[in-house]
Structure 1
């Protein structure tokens, strides 16, 4: 069954298979939101007189029954039915008769799928936000617990200056704050109602778009009906940008963990059940989880570019190209949530080595400290730098770890965890 079918017309099976593609698979993710959009639309039709109140009430009751089947994972798209929109209308017509045939008044599948995707993305962005906040809280908590556990800091992968586990994890916590700024922007773009834009040029019916916006709890609506359709693809791309920012942070953190659990570093370790072994090397404890987080998140970072290539040269109006945004974006949403959850699992079971910097190979980490100590005693910086450099070249450099003293904001001795948490709370308020 196709909503656009006419008498004495048919479509080649090969063309139909090609054009439908993976739509049914992804339409199941949209079913809940398609029913929500239909309930709002039908309620509004009853209020503006395009359906009687009794008809609208019956249709809404039937739609709520369909929603219950979706909630209980009992909803499917039948063989021969084109998409989720057709399936919902078909089921409703079975329940309430010809009333079900009235619910498409003033709608096109174009604005149906547009509102479904906006509702879906709004919900999923919120779910990602919650997982990011959980990881943020864990990073802050673990960082504070290990704020006095020193680590070597690196530039050019050469030992540079003293750092700490608290400073390391706190850096990723603050990175997530900026990531959520982009995700919050995506949420605002998704939180606009396109319903009522029809095929992209509005309708001669007296639709009340402000009412459906209110019923669907959107923040506002896409006012211009042409732009409501143009927001397809753009909304997905903006969401992809926010997701790619989170993914970039996870990928970098995963890479750090791969390095730091390497035997040549040995800063952190994990239980056997969270690592994997080798088929021939019995000593191996491989960081497969971190490697896959890194790989999956690197792939997620390509999504804005994929979507750009898909929508870049399209003129205004609806185009079938938009169908492919779902297969680019939807699976990556699940992957990103899984990566966030697995990163939380790993870090909550991480064991940190103590007294790392007492190892002789890290003594030059404190060269800057020695220079600063001389400057504090009145020696000009360039002269102090030369003195310490000469002592290193002669093999005479020594430094007492107990002299380490950092106090400024965002340093080893002043992590500013409370301030970073306050910044996170500001961003969360934007959702």
Structure 2
């Protein structure tokens, strides 16, 4: 049996994509729009030692597996075809023996993964317990300290690595990111002279948006590169009187008495077991009557495991955890004197955001490759296009949960209806 047919056998049913291999074999329809090409024996070893998305990612990021019919900066169309076709099932021992006989047992000996891959969970123990300060810092460093210039090429002028909110389907990415900050600012009822704490602030987009409107904004991030970039942007815009971004764990912020706290894309890194302390921290930082907004990726239900799958855990968000919006709201409601008043789902907006990030990567592909190397650029194209499909197919969602800190007598003095709706 030839290699392409072994691949087809592992998938478990007839393919709608074209698969070719270095031994000259092929499988699938000849007129398929998209295809996979196994370039060398290392690709085969990656695929058989880690069947599923992890093995495919290893082979693709290393350059040993090529996707045909698309651009490596945006393999969305190819991944759509893959998502429809690839239904990896765990082969039985007998099937594995048959595969080994066909391709050689040498392919079943694990080899080193690409350098872009994070350590497996059990080896990260050397960096501390899951969601300890040390291990959280290392996870953030892995994902966010890639290269500020690379992020500029992908994210665009807003330098914002969170879901945008599109005011209409024809809006640009920059318009949508500005609209996202406008929406959060309005939901938090911020006014000139108020104080805002933005935890997990990234490159300071929310901090700078608020500062331009006379709000004293403090942002904190575990990424040193983000903090340095943000502080320079604050100085360049003449916002130092109102804005500051610190390289710090949010748990080390000593100030209190904020009018509002925003968390935009941090909850994914917190760990579900830490939600009670996380939301209590936010409540304790705001004044009675103050506002809290939590913006994060969620699952569409609350039943299944929260930990990420192998590809996301090894290549994108080490130690990342997702859960349903119901779980998040329940944990917020369990904090005394914290009242959830509104929630909103932006699932389709994140698919559109990822579409535009992929388009930026394609447009700036040569410079991106020169900045971080082809393997890392391919990884980001793969990751963003795959996540776009996840949001489109309701595998993941993006939710805002808006809450207020009640007064001691449980009094709430907010307007009767949403005040941020034009």
TM-score, normalised relative to structure 1: 0.23
* Higher normalized strand content (fraction of residues): 2
Larger Rg: 1
